[in-house]
């Protein structure tokens, strides 16, 4: 905000310089005009007075005329008057020692200017003007005059000094006053900018005590900003609640399938226990029942471990491995069996590439996409899950043979607006997790299959946090 007063002060200085130049230019033009008028009067008078003497080449008469003109104009600007004849020789001068008779007139007229072209050169104390003496349109002589302009130069220097001091004082006053007024004017905007993100990256409401009183534009802007912040916070809270609810919905769907997966082997395990109890005297029957118990209990252990790993909160820093996808397949298998679907599972990503990603968010992304694919494919449909890597990215691809991604589901994945009810479980969570990992999501419909591909960049420097 400090740049605005500085810019204003700079503009004031430029305006002061421009105004000073204009004043000095106007003063110079006025001085030149007055000087031309004075020179014209003097030279015209001399031309009339000396014309008969120049015609008769009467040196003494010309000198007498110049002497009388010099004495009559004492205190005026002409310090030297020189009259030349038609041959370019000095006929007479007001100071014969400086301009002896017979000397060439060129030394007095070479740097002289006609009256109409008279200008005040910078730094000059004397200037010379020249005018022809004509008789019946024939030039019979020349009059040159040296004029003292020291007082005019001094006047311009004084005017420039006064203007400099006045402009400096005015600029200082205006700059200080402008900085103060602009600071007061821009203070509410600085407060607004601070609460919009500079205080920590998250927009914060402006306290009522910092809002200017009255119904000014700034106060209305701040009230509107507070209303907007409230709406953004409410939306964020709603989306957080929706994400949490979708987590529990996906967990509930998975739990119902897992219950079936656990209940099936439990019946066989209970039968094996009953067999051991009834036929404890038959080693072969006990051994077969014990093997059945071992396989069933190991299966239940794997299911319980995979379920716990999926929903543990301390896996954010755990590297992703191929075993994580084996656990997902184990957990997803009951859902496939419930719909009698055909599952294709292909893990080709390099282990080193997988380990650059955190396990928890990637597993959550894959599980939500698989659950939505199974629901879209329906009974008897097909679901495919593939992983691949190329040293730069890891790609997770989930496809299904369902009717396609509905608009509500697309909005949850590709749009930032509020998520409408319906449209798939956990898709907004998938979008947020993928963005948090620096990845992107692509959608394609190819050959009757809907394909969602999540591309996650590989970070070699360490495991990313989500």
pLDDT, tens digit, 9 for 90 and up, residues 91-117: 888 888 888 888 898 888 888 888 888
- Under 8 Å between Cβ of 375 and 444: no
User: What residues does 82 pair with on adjacent strands?
Assistant: 93, 144
Starting at the earlier edge strand, list the strands of the sheet with 126-135.
Answer: 90-93, 78-85, 138-148, 126-135, 113-114
* Rounded Cα distance, 97 and 105, in Å: 14
pLDDT tier, 465 (very low <50, low <70, confident <90, very high otherwise): very low
Q: What domains, with CATH codes, occur in the chain?
A: 3-157 (3.30.450.20), 238-457 (3.30.565.10)
Give 167's contacts (C-beta < 8 A, 6+ positions apart): 16, 17, 19, 20
- Is residue 437 within 8 A of residue 257, CB to CB? The reply is no
Q: Residue 264 has what pLDDT?
A: 57
Residue 464 confidence class, pLDDT cut points 50, 70, 90: very low
How does the average pLDDT of the chain come out, rounded? 78
For CA atoms 440, 445, 446, 450, the dihedral sign is positive
Indicate yes or no: pTM above 0.75. Answer: no
Confidence band for 202, pLDDT divided at 50, 70 and 90: low
Confidence of residue 456 (pLDDT cuts 50, 70, 90): very high
Residue listed under structure tokens 């230019």: 25
Burial of 11 (0-12, 13-18, 19+ CB in 10 A): middle
In this prediction, residues 185-207 reach a mean pLDDT of: 67
- pLDDT per residue over 363-408, tens digit each? 888 988 998 899 899 999 999 999 999 989 999 999 999 998 888 8
Please name every residue paired with 358 in a beta bridge, in sequence order, or none if there are none.
Answer: 319
pLDDT score of 250: 59
Q: Are 163 and 24 in contact (CB under 8 A)?
A: yes
Share of the chain above pLDDT 70, in %: 77
* Nearest C-alpha neighbor of 81 from the set 91, 68, 66, 71: 66
With beta carbons less than 8 A apart as the criterion, state whether 466 and 401 touch: no
Q: Is 156 in contact with 163 (CB distance < 8 Å)?
A: no
Q: pLDDT value at position 382?
A: 94
Q: At what angle do helices 322-339 and 359-377 cross, to 10 degrees?
A: 20
For residue 257, pLDDT beyond 60: no
Under the banding of pLDDT at 50, 70 and 90, the label for residue 169 is confident
**CA-CA distance, 460 to 353, in Å (whole number)?**
8
Least confident of 176-190, 305-319, 445-459: 305-319
Q: The tokens 């009059």 sit on which residue?
A: 143
Are 90 and 100 contacting, i.e. CB atoms less than 8 angstroms apart?
A: yes
């Amino acid at each position: 905000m400090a740049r605005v007063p500085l810019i204003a002060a700079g503009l004031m200085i430029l305006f002061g310089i421009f105004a000073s130049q204009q004043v000095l230019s106007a003063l110079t033009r006025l001085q030149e005009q007055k000087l031309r008028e004075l020179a014209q009067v003097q030279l015209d008078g001399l031309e009339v007075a000396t014309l008969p003497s120049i015609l008769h080449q009467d040196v003494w008469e010309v000198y007498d005329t110049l002497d009388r003109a010099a004495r009559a104009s004492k205190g005026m600007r002409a310090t030297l008057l020189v009259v030349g004849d038609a041959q370019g020789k000095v006929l007479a001068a007001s100071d014969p020692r400086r301009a002896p008779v017979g000397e060439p007139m060129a030394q007095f007229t070479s740097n002289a200017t006609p009256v109409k072209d008279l200008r005040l050169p910078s730094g000059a104390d004397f200037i010379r003007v020249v005018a022809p003496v004509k008789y019946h349109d024939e030039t019979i002589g020349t009059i040159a005059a040296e004029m003292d302009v020291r007082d005019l130069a001094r006047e311009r220097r004084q005017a420039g000094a006064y203007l400099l001091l006045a402009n400096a004082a005015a600029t200082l006053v205006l700059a200080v006053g402008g900085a103060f007024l602009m600071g007061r004017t821009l203070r509410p905007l600085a407060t607004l900018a601070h609460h919009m993100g500079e205080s920590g990256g998250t927009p914060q409401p402006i306290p009522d005590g910092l809002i200017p009183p009255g119904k000014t534009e700034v106060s209305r802007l701040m009230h509107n900003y507070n209303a907007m912040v409230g709406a953004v916070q409410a939306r964020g809270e709603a989306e957080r609640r929706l994400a949490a609810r979708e987590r529990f919905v996906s967990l509930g769907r998975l739990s119902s399938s897992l219950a079936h997966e656990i209940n099936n082997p439990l019946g066989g395990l209970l039968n094996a226990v009953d067999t051991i109890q009834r036929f404890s005297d038959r080693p072969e029957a006990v051994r077969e029942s014990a093997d059945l118990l071992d396989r069933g209990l190991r299966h239940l252990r794997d299911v319980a471990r995979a379920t716990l790993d999926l929903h543990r909160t301390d896996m954010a820093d755990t590297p992703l491995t191929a075993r994580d996808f084996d656990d997902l397949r184990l957990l997803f298998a009951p859902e496939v069996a419930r719909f009698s679907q055909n599952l294709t599972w292909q893990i080709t990503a390099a282990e080193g590439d997988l380990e650059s990603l955190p396990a928890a968010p990637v597993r959550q992304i894959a599980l939500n996409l698989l659950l939505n694919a199974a629901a879209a494919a329906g009974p008897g449909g097909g679901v495919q899950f593939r992983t691949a890597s190329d040293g730069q990215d890891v790609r997770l691809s989930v496809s299904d043979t369902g009717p396609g991604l509905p608009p509500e589901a697309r909005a949850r994945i590709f749009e930032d607006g509020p998520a409408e009810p319906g449209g798939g479980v956990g898709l907004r969570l998938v979008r947020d997790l993928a963005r948090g990992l620096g990845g992107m999501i692509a959608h394609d419909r190819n050959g009757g299959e809907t394909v969602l591909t999540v591309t996650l960049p590989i970070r070699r420097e360490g495991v990313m946090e989500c």
